[in-house]
Structure 1
């Protein structure tokens, strides 16, 4: 496999090559072992949430509308909800992936079209509470009802997701994005990111869209590959845009 080194010279903007990168990591099915939102709905939602899910799968509604309607069906006291979601396991390799990024000065942001309350609880239990999380906001209303808001939706209405990952990537400010994901909420950003690590449904999308990616099943597989990229070995499949970035 052809490869080329990351240069030691500073790029045009005066920052080191590594300082140009940011990592965006999906949560449900990527960091978490299961889709935690589906687990929450299966445990606490009144009947009807699956029919709403079917409308989303069929493309009749966007994920934002889907989630808002499903969350309105939740019935759980906050302490019961929190106790349940704290039990969710994560891919143990995520901590390794985070350490690799930190060693190279690459900030990691968890960006999800899921529920922020769940994500914070799971990461806190895993000892990763310091990571920034961008997701839909879940808040209790009364004794056992819940409301969802989407502070990171696309303002221009161009994206029907609750969290527009493309908008988030732009707002984070670094010119080169590493995406790690597994599903539909990652499709749009995968077509714009500079490095893509994909699993599950995101693999099929990348194949269909002609997007270059690195497949993985566990994050412990992705971490050493990224380490090689950032320490001097970039895969030959990298795009010309990546070459331009690392060559300054």
Structure 2
């Protein structure tokens, strides 16, 4: 039997809403919206765009932002059961996020452990927030501006022959990863991009849908 391995986005996928967008709406000045639009229409790289977004927010807002997301972020229905299901059947589940460590780890802590959590890192040492990039693009990535390069991480972790790669995501930041997946579960903007690029996908709204898709693929031992 092929060895399944899952790569799952965080913002807008595990959580109901995109946490970066939520933070911008609450803590950033109005100019964040133009930057967001440039990221979504791909005229600005994710790396450059996220750096610009967070440079708009004072570092002194860190604890306020963490508390805001603890109070407001909603985990998508079925996620806890999905994590338990993958653990029960020995399916590696990796979280790959363009989000930032100061909110990704606190929001995930009740649901792990996972095989790995990959995200960007925030520095609060200066007057405004700066971003660190511990997961850069590899030589095969044509972008160079991914920030947290999801396809590079996927290539590194799914090298064993016979792996069946499942990708779960919701946004343009998941598109390059989706191009490498054997089975793609998509919603929202990623679903639109998959249709534009001719990438077959399974639509999902909850993680119950994702669990059902896994079962239909016949990868459970």
TM-score by length of 1: 0.78
Structure 2, gaps ≥5 residues long: none
Count of matched residue pairs: 212
Q: What is the RMSD of the two structures over their aligned residues, measured on CA atoms? A: 1.9
Match of 1:140 among 124, 145, 150: 124
**Residue pairs, 1:115-126, within 5 angstroms:** 115-124=100-109
Match of 2:200 among 212, 215, 218: 212
CA contact (8 A) 2:186 2:204 kept: yes
Q: Structure 2 CA distance, aligned partners of 1:188 and 1:39?
A: 24
Match of 2:183 among 186, 190, 195: 195
Provide closer, same or farther for how the CA distance between residues 141 and 45 of structure 1 changes in structure 2, counting only shifts above 3 A: farther
Provide closer, same or farther for how the CA distance between residues 58 and 222 of structure 1 changes in structure 2, counting only shifts above 3 A: closer
Instruction: List 4+ stretches of structure 1 deviating above 3 A.
Output: none
TM-score by length of 2: 0.87
CA contact (8 A) 1:85 1:121 kept: no
Q: Structure 2 CA distance, aligned partners of 1:165 and 1:185?
A: 8
Q: Structure 1 CA distance, aligned partners of 2:13 and 2:97?
A: 10
Q: Structure 2 CA distance, aligned partners of 1:92 and 1:34?
A: 12
Q: Which has the larger radius of gyration?
A: 1
Q: Structure 1 CA distance, aligned partners of 2:7 and 2:64?
A: 30
DSSP 3-state at the match of 1:196? strand
